[in-house]
């Protein structure tokens, strides 16, 4: 019963390519998030969205952008991929309105060569 | 901003023993403290959470305690089993500008030795 789906499990891209990471949730959640996970650094917030068509920068937004045209879909865009963006990318969602936990996707392991 | 420190970074226990993972936070406005378990190659999953108006919460073999005065909270796993082996993340969350801002700890890799 997968509820947060990330379109790719593994991706290999070349430096300078434009990369799209897609995330879809079927729980009607208002809030969606993109994190990257690196060894020794934990989970770092890239961007988040509290509603359709709105977006906010997280702690490490440089080199990334996002799009949320529909409530269920939140896309992360690497405008020009660089090797330091090689990482595990995790999408998460949660209901709006209060202190509740995340539901995470399975992650996309991106390698930029 | 909020700072969450988690320790130890790695923990090995014998099957059947207890495991304790500790986190401290810096912002007294934090009011929600979830714990996530991430098994190797899998997504993080919420296993237990506690709100600031509660001092302790238990769910079968796992429990979380919160000391607001000292600004620390802990995860306790009793009677550990090999399937408890995973990376555990703590987090602290607070209301910020109309939304809940979450800060994660760096994670603890727990190994349960059969």
Which are the contacts of A25, defined by CB distance < 8 A and separation ≥ 6? Answer: A3, A4, A5, A32, A72, A74, A91, A93, A103
pLDDT tens-place string over residues B45-84: 999 999 998 899 999 999 999 999 999 999 999 999 999 9
Which are the contacts of A82, defined by CB distance < 8 A and separation ≥ 6? Answer: A15, A63, A112
Q: Output the pLDDT for position B9.
A: 95
Mutate which of B91, B102, B103 to disrupt the A interface (most A C-beta within 10 Å)?
A: B102
> Does any CB of chain A come closer than 8 Å to the CB of residue B54?
no
Q: Output the pLDDT for position B71.
A: 96
In this predicted structure, the answer to whether residue A95 has a pLDDT above a threshold of 70 is yes
Q: Output the pLDDT for position B54.
A: 87
Q: Output the pLDDT for position A89.
A: 98
Which are the contacts of A67, defined by CB distance < 8 A and separation ≥ 6? Answer: A55, A74, A75, A77
Question: Burial, A6: exposed, middle or buried (Cβ in 10 Å; 0-12, 13-18, 19+)?
Answer: buried
Flag if A50 and B102 touch (Cβ within 8 Å). Answer: no
Q: Which of B44, B51, B106 sits opposite A104 (nearest CB)?
A: B44
Flag if B106 and A107 touch (Cβ within 8 Å). Answer: no
pLDDT tens-place string over residues B11-53: 999 999 999 999 999 999 999 999 999 999 999 999 999 999 8
Question: What's the rounded mean pLDDT across residues A63-67?
Answer: 97
Which are the contacts of A79, defined by CB distance < 8 A and separation ≥ 6? Answer: A18, A63, A64, A65
Q: Output the pLDDT for position A2.
A: 61
Q: How far apart are CA B17 and CA B5, in angstroms?
A: 24
Flag if A106 and B102 touch (Cβ within 8 Å). Answer: no
Flag if B49 and A90 touch (Cβ within 8 Å). Answer: no
In this predicted structure, the answer to whether residue A1 has a pLDDT above a threshold of 70 is no
> Does any CB of chain B come closer than 8 Å to the CB of residue A2?
no
């Amino acid at each position: 019963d997968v509820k947060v789906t990330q379109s790719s499990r593994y991706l290999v891209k070349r430096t300078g390519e434009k990369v799209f990471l897609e995330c879809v949730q079927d729980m009607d959640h208002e809030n969606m998030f993109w994190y990257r996970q690196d060894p020794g650094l934990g989970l770092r917030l890239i961007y988040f969205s509290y509603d359709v068509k709105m977006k906010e920068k997280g702690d490490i937004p440089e080199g990334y952008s996002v799009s949320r045209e529909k409530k269920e879909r939140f896309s992360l865009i690497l405008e020009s991929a660089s090797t330091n963006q090689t990482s595990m990318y995790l999408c998460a969602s949660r209901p709006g309105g209060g202190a509740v936990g995340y539901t995470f996707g399975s992650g996309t392991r991106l390698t930029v060569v | 901003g909020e700072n969450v420190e988690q320790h130890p970074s790695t923990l090995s226990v014998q099957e059947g023993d207890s495991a304790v993972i500790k986190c401290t936070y810096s912002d007294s406005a934090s009011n929600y403290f979830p714990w996530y378990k991430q098994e190797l190659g899998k997504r993080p999953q919420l296993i237990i959470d506690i709100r600031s108006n509660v001092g302790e919460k238990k769910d079968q073999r796992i429990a979380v305690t919160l000391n607001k005065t000292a600004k620390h909270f802990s995860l306790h796993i009793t009677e550990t089993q090999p399937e408890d082996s995973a990376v555990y993340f703590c987090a602290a969350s607070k209301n910020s500008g109309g939304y809940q801002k979450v800060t994660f700890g760096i994670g603890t890799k727990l190994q349960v030795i059969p």
